[in-house]
Amino acid sequence: MRPSEATTRVQSSAIRELFALLSRQDVISLAGGFPSAAAIDIEALKSAMARTMSQTMPAALLYGSVQGYEPLREMIAGRCRGFGMRLDASGIVITSGSQQGIDLIARTMVDPGDAVAVEAPTYLGAIQAFQARGANLVSVPTDNEGLHIDALETLFEQHRPKLLYLIPNFANPTGAVLSLRRRRQVLELAARHGVLIVEDDAYGELFFRDPPPPSLLALANAEERQWVVHLSSFSKVIAPGLRLAWLAAPVELMRHVHLAKQISDTHSSAISQMVGYHFLNAGSIEPALSRARQYYAKQASIMRRAVEAELGKVPLVTVAARGGMFQWIELPGVNTQALLPKAIEAGVAYVPGAPFFADRAGADSLRLSFASATAEQIGEGVRRLAGVFSGAR
Amino acid sequence: MRPSEATTRVQSSAIRELFALLSRQDVISLAGGFPSAAAIDIEALKSAMARTMSQTMPAALLYGSVQGYEPLREMIAGRCRGFGMRLDASGIVITSGSQQGIDLIARTMVDPGDAVAVEAPTYLGAIQAFQARGANLVSVPTDNEGLHIDALETLFEQHRPKLLYLIPNFANPTGAVLSLRRRRQVLELAARHGVLIVEDDAYGELFFRDPPPPSLLALANAEERQWVVHLSSFSKVIAPGLRLAWLAAPVELMRHVHLAKQISDTHSSAISQMVGYHFLNAGSIEPALSRARQYYAKQASIMRRAVEAELGKVPLVTVAARGGMFQWIELPGVNTQALLPKAIEAGVAYVPGAPFFADRAGADSLRLSFASATAEQIGEGVRRLAGVFSGAR
């Protein structure tokens, strides 16, 4: 057996390997960014399933189009127009989660050796998808307002990347929000250098108080729009188990995306698409979003207070999460990867920062998620963490 | 915009391009191999959906494991053991249709330039998935008993392929069934030459009278089993819209398959998996299979009679379909691709044979499907075809 080189060059997910350790019942996981059942409108989803059964049979059971169920795409396009994006149904492809959206773009754009620019740190699943294509990943430093524009310009000039992947809103793992000013600068730079922007907006609607600035796709002028792919997902706002997300791409790229989608899985689960359609069509998304925002805002503030109370004695850098699911922590001088086994021994799990960096920097950082633990678990988990970290210094 | 080379080397699906022409209401499509609503047990599926809502919430809405829902994998493994395959749940991954199964194996095994052996003709979606990986496709000639063993041995020696992709039962597009004797020979040859067999069994349960011989995985001895990947699907026997299929792979390959699956779409739709689980758990599959077998057997015989009555005057070679969804026809001297626009003009669509051949041979063949047209449409469609073909000679 000789597996492909592509296979052997992908680093396995640190999160996934961690899961094997988490079967121990007494370990509190602050690791995975999984939406909680408490944040999901289960009754509205059951209604959407009931309408799927009564109104869209047998279509929900048969083969559909590669692009996805057209009434669903029309509804998504209408919502997008409300956010200032110029889109119609033909510009949208339904994907099986936004992980698939990233993978379709990687397949469509990247050959082995091509440079791909990513934020440092960024989403692990994106790093893996680009690695699987043999991309040469180049990292752009970031702060709380997203990526550094000067560094981005230098990188564009030196590496001429095929694309720039970024998470502008409540980024995974840092929670950072790309400022309006930088959004405009990224658009201008990308169009000037001919670099495709892949805007992954999985978390933009999960703001706690103020919505983030408009998406790059909404801000782009006619020329810049030719350089923007927009990914979004219903995993965080309706339910992850549906594996329902979507991708908007420039016309020139679209037929390649359709072909890559066809090769990947023919089309996304029709039943998932129908449930998503009926959920949106019944107007269930706004109440579901209110519920999710309230839930995550409360969880974030519980974690924030616990971190301040318990980790306040340890020199650390954190920024309050303003949306999304994550609290990013930097502990100068502490190797968080090396400490993880001790943390699990002490009954708490987190994700070390290094795997989020394509260049494997960030050894002294870590990601906590407040998405699915209870208030008690968050308090006790952070207390256990504090014990581990203070012992490590 | 510079799309990847991988993207530009894949031939778009002739079937898919055809669909654009089929919006004309008066064209009878004998082209696509789509399961008919008439062959689907909609009531049993509604019951499975109802049980998903009442019994497996909120799990059906949340993130699940990469491998797929464990009770579903256990049920599949149990069924497989009934067919003589040595499998347990850990040896199975749920895929989003068997197209994804093929794609996962292509990703896991094939680097650009690697030789991949396929039957001539074979499934278009497999040709595309391997082309997308940059495979060097090499073709093995076939007849009604599947691929030619002598040619296969020569090919293994000359090209040393990484894998052999084949459809042993009621193949798409020919309907051929690999004989028991040849199955054993393929296993022996593959193990001896270290070639991975990818057995795509999408149609094996759709036999009209006699079941096909045991699968290659069931026939393999302990050593041979290390060289067999088995793909199967519920698309043809439960419902295609669920996008529910599965893959069994040797242990050595499995962790690579898990990683490729994670990168592709994290996991398959949880709601589809739960519906599939409840369908199987309620014992609905055997009645559904009986229904589907009866339906397709009747459709096949209607088409068979029409072909004999209408095309009998045209020199042609056909073999009666004994299972599956397709009737393969060879018309020596007729270029079926060139004639297609005239056929559509005359109000009937088929799939020309050439795209099913990796080497683009087979210009005088075509595939008809009896899966979804009505009896009247089949009769009238074949009549129209006869007019087109007799005029072409």
CB contact under 8 A, B107 and A269: no
pLDDT at B269: 96
Instruction: Examine the fold and report which residue of A281, A299, A325 is the final residue of a domain before the chain moves on.
Output: A281
Q: Are residues B101 and B133 in the same domain?
A: yes
Q: Are residues A197 and A91 in the same domain?
A: yes
Q: Are B204 and B236 in contact (CB under 8 A)?
A: no
Please determine, for residue A249, whether its predicted confidence score (pLDDT) is greater than 90. Answer: yes
Q: Are residues B259 and B386 in the same domain?
A: no
Q: How many CB atoms within 10 Å of residue A291? A: 16
Question: Would you place residue B11 in the very low, low, confident or very high pLDDT band (cuts 50, 70, 90)?
Answer: low
- The region of weakest confidence among A148-157, A161-170, A286-295, B357-366 is B357-366
Instruction: Examine the fold and report which residue of A245, A262, A281 is the final residue of a domain before the chain moves on.
Output: A281
Q: Are residues B34 and B130 in the same domain?
A: no
- What amino acid is encoded at A191 in this protein? A
Q: How far is CA A66 from CA A43, A259, B69, in A?
A: 30, 8, 25
For residues A388 and A384, give the distance between their C-alpha atoms in angstroms, rounded to a whole number: 6
Q: Are residues A15 and A130 in the same domain?
A: no
Calculate mean pLDDT across residues A174-196.
Answer: 98
Q: How far is CA B228 from CA A381, B125, B198, B217, B220, in A?
A: 45, 20, 6, 6, 8
Read off the DSSP letter of residue B13.
Answer: P
Any B CB within 8 A of A183 CB: no
Nearest CA in chain A to B126: A263
Any A CB within 8 A of B214 CB: no
Q: Are residues A137 and A233 in the same domain?
A: yes
Any A CB within 8 A of B215 CB: no
Q: Which residues pair with B165 in a beta bridge?
A: B118, B198
pLDDT at A393: 60
Residues of B in contact with A23 (CB under 8 A): none
**CATH code (residue A348):** 3.90.1150.10
Q: Are residues A101 and A187 in the same domain?
A: yes
- The region of weakest confidence among A123-132, A148-157, B257-266, B307-316 is B307-316
For residues A82 and A284, give the distance between their C-alpha atoms in angstroms, rounded to a whole number: 17
**CATH code (residue A185):** 3.40.640.10
Residues of A in contact with B6 (CB under 8 A): 107, 111
Using alpha carbons, select from A10, A290, A274, A237 the residue that is nearest to residue A134. Answer: A10
Tens of pLDDT, residue by residue over A59-102, are 889 889 999 999 999 999 999 999 999 999 999 999 999 999 99
The upper half-sphere exposure of residue A367, i.e. CA atoms within 13 Å in the direction of its Cβ, equals 27
Q: Are A393 and A314 in contact (CB under 8 A)?
A: yes
Using alpha carbons, select from B226, B134, B248 the residue that is nearest to residue A4. Answer: B134
Question: Would you place residue A200 in the very low, low, confident or very high pLDDT band (cuts 50, 70, 90)?
Answer: very high
Q: Are residues A60 and A151 in the same domain?
A: yes
Which B residues, 64 through 83, put their C-beta within 8 Å of a C-beta on chain A?
A: 64, 66
For residues B194 and B162, give the distance between their C-alpha atoms in angstroms, rounded to a whole number: 8
Q: Are residues A133 and A225 in the same domain?
A: yes
CB contact under 8 A, A270 and B4: no
> What percent of chain A clears pLDDT 70, i.e. is strictly above it?
96
Q: How far is CA B133 from CA A112, A193, B361, in A?
A: 11, 28, 22
ipTM of the complex: 0.95
- What amino acid is encoded at A232 in this protein? S
Q: Are residues B123 and B261 in the same domain?
A: yes
Closest Cβ opposite residue A108 in set B7, B256, B259: B7
Looking at CA atoms only, how far is residue B69 from chain A in angstroms? Answer: 11
Nearest CA in chain A to B65: A16
Nearest CA in chain A to B15: A262
Q: Which residues pair with B281 in a beta bridge?
A: none
Query: Within a domain: residue A46?
Result: no
Residues of B in contact with A2 (CB under 8 A): 109, 162
Nearest CA in chain A to B162: A2
Residues of A in contact with B276 (CB under 8 A): none
Instruction: Examine the fold and report which residue of B227, B251, B281 is the final residue of a domain before the chain moves on.
Output: B281
Residues of B in contact with A243 (CB under 8 A): 96, 265-270
Residues of A in contact with B241 (CB under 8 A): 59-64, 269-271
Q: Are residues B261 and B383 in the same domain?
A: no
Closest Cβ opposite residue A264 in set B103, B241, B252: B103
What's the domain count of chain A?
A: 2
Query: Within a domain: residue A47?
Result: no
pLDDT at A312: 83
Using alpha carbons, select from B132, B143, B207, B223 the residue that is nearest to residue B170. Answer: B207
Domain housing A340: 5-41+287-391
Any B CB within 8 A of A133 CB: yes
Q: Are residues A339 and A277 in the same domain?
A: no
Question: Would you place residue B45 in the very low, low, confident or very high pLDDT band (cuts 50, 70, 90)?
Answer: very high
For residues A380 and A389, give the distance between their C-alpha atoms in angstroms, rounded to a whole number: 14
Question: Would you place residue B71 in the very low, low, confident or very high pLDDT band (cuts 50, 70, 90)?
Answer: very high
- The region of weakest confidence among A255-264, A310-319, A366-375, B18-27 is B18-27
Q: What is the DSSP string of B116-177?
A: EEEEES--HHHHHHHHHTT-EEEEEEEETTEE-HHHHHHHHHHH--SEEEE--SS-TTT---
pLDDT at A24: 62
CB contact under 8 A, A268 and B10: no
Please determine, for residue A7, whether its predicted confidence score (pLDDT) is greater than 90. Answer: no
Query: Within a domain: residue A306?
Result: yes
How far separated are the first and last CA of chain A, in Å rounded? 46
Looking at CA atoms only, how far is residue B234 from chain A in angstroms? Answer: 11
Reduced to 3 states, what is the DSSP secondary structure of residue B112?
coil
Question: Would you place residue A38 in the very low, low, confident or very high pLDDT band (cuts 50, 70, 90)?
Answer: confident
Any A CB within 8 A of B53 CB: yes
Closest Cβ opposite residue B108 in set A3, A62, A95: A3
A368: phi then psi, degrees, rounded to nearest 5: -110, 145
SS in 3 state form for chain A?
Answer: CCCCHHHHHCCCCHHHHHHHHCCCCCCEECCCCCCCHHHCCHHHHHHHHHHHHHHCCCHHHCCCCCCCCHHHHHHHHHHHHHCCCCCCHHHEEEECCHHHHHHHHHHHHCCCCCEEEEEECCCHHHHHHHHHCCCEEEEEEEECCEECHHHHHHHHHHHCCCEEEECCCCCCCCCCCCCHHHHHHHHHHHHHHCCEEEEEECCCCCECCCCCCCCHHHHCCHHHHCCEEEEEECCCCCCHHHCCEEEECCHHHHHHHHHHHHHHHCCCCHHHHHHHHHHHHCCCHHHHHHHHHHHHHHHHHHHHHHHHHHHCCCCCEECCCCECCEEEEECCCCCHHHHHHHHHHCCEECEECHHHCCCCCCCCEEEEECCCCCHHHHHHHHHHHHHHHHHCC
